[in-house]
Every structure is written in C-alpha cells, then in structure tokens.
Structure 1
Amino acid sequence: MLKRIFAALLVIPMMVWILTACGTTDKASTAPNSGSSKATENTDKPVNGDLPPLSKPATVTIAEDGSASGAGFYIATEKGYFKQYNINVKYATFQNSDDMLPALAADKVDVAGGISSASFFNSIAQGIDVKMIADKGHNVMGKSYFSFVIRKDEQNTIKSYKDLKGKKIAVSTQNGVDDYIFQQMLNSAGLKRSDVHFVLMSDFNNMLAALSNGTIDAALEIEPMITKGISEGICVRLGDTTDFAPKAQIAMVIASPVFLEQRHDVAIRFMLAYLKGLRDYNDAFVYNKGNKDEIIKIMTKYTALKDPKTWEQVDVTGLDPDGKMYIDDIKNQYKWYKSNGGIEGTVDMSKAVDTSLDDEALKILGPYKSN
C-alpha cells in the first residue's frame, strides 16, 4: 500500500490513493512548469552512457503520496540524480485522485504514481489523456509486500486458499487492484465469490484490529502491517500472492503527454534519474549491497514508516531496476474491470501504455547489472 502508512509500502487506496505527499495542501501545489522544450533544448548526444545536464534549469512536478512505491523518486531526489541533469523537482499533493488525473492531462503536473482501478481506466476511456510509462510497484516472487494473512488461531484450519470457503475476508477496494488480486486468488482455489464473505475495509490498520477481535478471518493486507501483525501474534501469512498472481502490476508511473512530447529533453533526463534511483533501491533491498542505511534513511524521510529496523524486516515493494512493467497484466486488469461493468467506453492500451521513454533511457544507461 497503511496505505496510509506504507501506502505506505505502495501504494494502495488503489489508484485512488494518490496523493498526499511531501506537502500538506488539499489541492495541488502546482506552480506553472518552468522549462519549455525550447528553453531547455539540448542537442548533445549521449556520452559515456549518460546525458549531459540541461543547458537551463527545468522544473518537474511530481504528484506522489508518500507511499513506499515512490522510492525511485525519493532516492533520485535525495542523491542528487535530478539535480545532476539541472532538474528541480517539486512534489504536489491532491485531495483526491479525481483532481490528479485532469491536472496531469492539463500539464499542471508532469508525473504521478497511479494504482490500477476501474476508476483509473474509466477516466482514460472518457478522454483524460495520460500515459503509463514505467513500473511503480509489483510483488516480488515469494516476498509479496501485499498478500493474504489469516488469524493466527485459524492457522490449523486454514492451510490453503481452498480453506477460505465460508470465511470473512477483508479487501480494501472494489473494482480496484486489490479486488483483482482477490479474484485471482478465488480462481486459483476454484472458489466463487458466493463461497466467501467479501468484507470491504479500506483501512489496512483496521484490518489488523478486525483480525485481532475475530470480526474477520482473513485479509488482503499490506506491509508493514503484515510484519506488525505477525510480530504481535495477530496473524500469519497464507502463502504468497505470487502463488497465484506471479506477474501482477500494482502501480505505474503516469505522465502528461505534454511532458513526454513537448519537453522531451527534460523527460528523458527525468527517466534516467528515476532509473538510477530504482537501481540504488534494488542494490539495497534486493541484493543487499551499496549503502543500504542511506537508502533506508531516505525512505524513512519520505514515507510514514519511520523505524529503520522495520525496513530491515518487511518485504518491500518490488520496483524493476529497468522500469519494466507487466503490460500483459495491466491489459488483463482492464479487461476484468470492463467485464464487471466498471468502465464506460474503450481504452486503446497501445496508446495508454507508452514505454518509449523508458526504452530510450535504457539504451543510454544499459540494462541493470546486479554484480
């Protein structure tokens, strides 16, 4: 996602949980973008696997909610990767996601983090022109930060997903990525929705309380609430989300078409900095190399999870070091929402998903190497 807390580790009120970031205003702090394509034009070619800084400073506005899935943004900011390209980053906050998408389409915001939901795709279908350009959150095989837990006192009776039949299961959204994951679990277990009791519960912290008092039997929970619940003897994990959804895309980096097309010199450098941040994140949390303490310190600064020791224990958000998304899963999610009647109109996924900027950045930086 503590979507509030981790969001706190992706990301999730789902999609819809964008945005409460490093500012505190209700509406977007959206100073006009500075640095037009002409003002920042730089025709220099790649040199030694990188690009030179812009000849004039440019401002990029990011809408982000303080979730752990924004790690690439935070690390690139704190380690000076944006500054390296003469880019000044501003973080904007929104009262709700309905305000964020139009702001992106109107070029009041350049980049944002988005969670898959019917509402998200429906906005695009209704004419809000935004692009999904890079990974911003997925589950890591066998170490999902977003997974099912059951009450500890039921661990001897609920040993597999099939054993959830007749049980009360808390899920944070309907027609959002949580609901999509929930459906994948049911499919894998050969269960129908009518076989279980779906309990809509938007607050992940409340899920722990409900597990503790026996109101629910299971929950699709998020880190660090999973680790907290286990340490307090409230719950245990039930397998791992990747058991049945190994390639689920939870969140995406979304960009304004104006930013991508009319400010390309800025956009490509932004992507380069973002990928450098993602690679530092993977160095620290996946391969345990580099200055992990430094990365954890950055994460405690930007997210609601302030305890460095907990960062050593939780299963963190998966962030591809090359920015790659599970595009097939994004398409499957869209089809599922549409089949449920959650989307009016049609989304041209070949236009809504645009990896060209990421592809260009990878040609410059080269693929990530873990050693």
Structure 2
Amino acid sequence: MKKYLFLIIMTVVAFLVVSGCQSSESSQQGNNENTDPLSPLEETAKVVIAEDGSASGAGFYIAKDKGYFEEYNIDVEFATFGNSDEMLPAVAAGEVDVAGGVSSASFFNSIAQGIDVRFIADKGHNNKGNSYFTFVVRDDLKDEITDYPDVKGKKIAVSTKNAVDHYIYNEMLKHGGVSPDEVEFVLMSDFANMMAAMGNKQIDLALQIEPLITQGENKGIHKRFLDATDYAPEAQIAMVLGSPKFLTERRDVAVRFMAAYLRGVRDYHDVFVKGKDDGGEVVSIMANHTALKDEELWKEVGVTGLNPNGYIFEEDVKKQYQFYKDNGAIQGDLDFDKIIDMSLVEEVLDLIGTYEE
C-alpha cells in the first residue's frame, strides 16, 4: 500500500514539474513572439532606395538577392536619379527612404540650405592595401615617381573639385610635403578619359576608381601609386542617407531594413576582406547589379570598404566639410550632431550583435 501511494505521489510530482516547465516555456515563447523586434512585419512594407548600381551599394544588393529584406517582410525598390540635386529633396520629403550620398561641397550646401537628411551608416571607404579609389601613376613613370614627394611638378587628374576626390588629393599632397602650387591640378570628370589621357601621356597621375585601376594595370597603362590609406586612412567616401520620416514614423521598418543591410555588408566583408569561399554567390550578385559584369575580374579588383558594424568615420566627414569651407565652397553651417545619426545602427547592433574581425 505504501509503495502504491509512493508511486501516485511521484506521478503527481512529475506531472506538476512537466506542466510547470511547459507553462514556463510557453510563456517565454509568447514573450518572444510579442517583443522580438526582428520578427517579420505583419504587413509587407515597401522601402525605396536611391541607388545607381555603384559597387558601394553592395549591402543593398546582397540583402535583396539573399532574401534578408524578404525575411522581415520588406519589399525594396531601387530608384535612380540624375544627380544629388534631384535625389536629396526626394529623400528629405520621404519619397525615397534610403539613398547613397558622396561627400561634396554641393551635397553639404544642399543640407545647409534646409534639405533634411541623415547620415545613418557607412557606404564606402578605402581598404588598406587594395583600395577601390586611389592614385595611379603612368606606367612609363613608375620608376621615376615612387614616393609622395616625387609628384612635385607633375600633372595630376582629379574628377571633381571641392568633393571627396579633391579632399583625398589634398591629403596626399600634404602627406608628401608638396604644396598645391607645386603640381598641376587637372580637372577631368570622366574616369575613362583619365585612362585615355594617361595612355596619350597628357597626365602623369590620376585619382582613379575600379575596375579601371585593374584594367589599366592589365593593359600596361598605369600602376597603383602606393596606398590611399597612407594619407587618408579613414576617408569617408560615401554614406547611407535616411529620410527623417523613415527613421521616425517608420522606425519598425527602418530597424529591420538596417538589420538586413548589415547582414548583406557582413557577407560582402567575409568574401572580399576575409577571403571566405561562399561558392561565388556574392561575386555573382555584385556582377548582376553593377557595371562590372566580369566575375573573374571581381577576384582581382580592389573593392569598396564597407563597415560590417555600420559606423561611419564621423570626424573625417567633419574634416571634409571644413576643407570645402576653407576653399570658400560652403555657404552656411551644419549641425553634425543632428545630421550624423548612428542611433539606428546602434539599435540594430544590440539586436544582431557586433561583427568581430
């Protein structure tokens, strides 16, 4: 009888323990469902991205093609604009949610004149040793121009004045102890024309971009000239811009968008910086979305640096602004505490974790 009672008691205890565990587990699952900020949106949300197929848009392309946006029930649409004068007002008005912005005096002037956009993540910087955006020297001068002071007296082509190209050019001269008066600044807006001018020996150096850097080297027209991170180690070339409406009125969408974007950037970083073998998927995505269609050439070119944790080089953005202002190209002041908004990146990093090198 005692043995029978003991078995009944143990059965009841076991039942209560199991029931309690199931209740606790059910409660935890319910809490996760209710509070998980990265669960898919209840309704599909459209996000418009102003992107023109530049390599720095890698995070957008990879997140789209690998289904990261779709996981959060986000449908992205790419829109193109002729120039920033058309694009920035659309972002400020919320007609475009996200865009890419390249540093220039005209870009900063638009913001100073009341166009309200925010810098919300990194969209391009140089990688040490293999920069996407760097100087090249004419092939027949490669043994003559071997160090920065050697550029004195040379003709140097730059694509824009009072923009990030001009800023990097100026940083290179300062690094070499060369005055702007001691070189000839050649304004040449078309990068392909730079390569032609190099071949015709009309210029000696040029601030060039990929894939023209690699193509020119393969053709024996020019060689990379040292490394851009020697003199501009944290040059912020491009930023992800966000509409204030997107960041506030559609914050739930914005958080998921940024999570997907950073996941795409991390895949890109894994392949192009860490050398991870993903079976060619990321290279194929880049070839599909950009002007460089040759997948084999993607294995040779220097690629845009993209921060897998999203942060931009804030101090360098301010330094570029000051450079343009000192040149008399800026009208008005900017409140960078308002314009640079890393809160979305920080919120997402708390959710998906920090990328460790």
TM (norm. structure 1) is: 0.86
Alignment-derived partner of residue 271 in structure 2: 284
Matched, 1:214 2:182: no
Matched, 1:259 2:249: no
Paired residue type of 1:329: D
Aligned-partner SS, 1:191: coil
Residue 122 (structure 2) aligned to one of 96, 111, 135: 135
CA shift, 1:292, in A, is: 4.9
CA shift, 1:198, in A, is: 0.5
Q: Percent identity?
A: 58
Structure 1 stretches lacking a partner, 5+ long = 1-42
Alignment-derived partner of residue 332 in structure 1: 319
- For residues 201-280 of structure 1, what are the structure 2 equivalents within 5 Å? 201-280=188-267
Residue 198 (structure 1) aligned to one of 185, 200, 205: 185
Structure 2 stretches lacking a partner, 5+ long = 1-32
Alignment-derived partner of residue 151 in structure 2: 164
Question: Larger Cα Rg: Structure 1 or Structure 2?
Answer: 2
Aligned-partner SS, 1:343: coil
Distance in structure 2 (CA, Å) of the matches to 1:235 and 1:44: 59
Distance in structure 2 (CA, Å) of the matches to 1:283 and 1:96: 32
Paired residue type of 2:261: Y
Paired residue type of 1:291: D
CA shift, 1:126, in A, is: 0.4
Aligned-partner SS, 2:304: coil
Alignment-derived partner of residue 140 in structure 2: 153
Distance in structure 2 (CA, Å) of the matches to 1:289 and 1:165: 41
Matched, 1:55 2:42: yes
CA shift, 1:369, in A, is: 3.3
- For residues 347-362 of structure 1, what are the structure 2 equivalents within 5 Å? 347-362=334-349
CA shift, 1:97, in A, is: 1.3
Alignment-derived partner of residue 181 in structure 1: 168
Superposition misfits of 4+ residues, deviation over 4 angstroms: none
Distance in structure 2 (CA, Å) of the matches to 1:293 and 1:345: 47
Distance in structure 2 (CA, Å) of the matches to 1:69 and 1:177: 15
CA distances 1:52-105 after superposition (whole Å, capped 9, x unpaired): 000111000000010000000000000000000000001111122101000001
Aligned-partner SS, 2:62: helix
Paired residue type of 1:165: K
- For residues 306-325 of structure 1, what are the structure 2 equivalents within 5 Å? 306-325=293-312
CA shift, 1:191, in A, is: 1.2
Alignment-derived partner of residue 28 in structure 1: none
Alignment check: 8 A CA contact 1:64 1:70 kept: yes
TM (norm. structure 2) is: 0.89
Structure 1 vs Structure 2 CA RMSD: 1.3
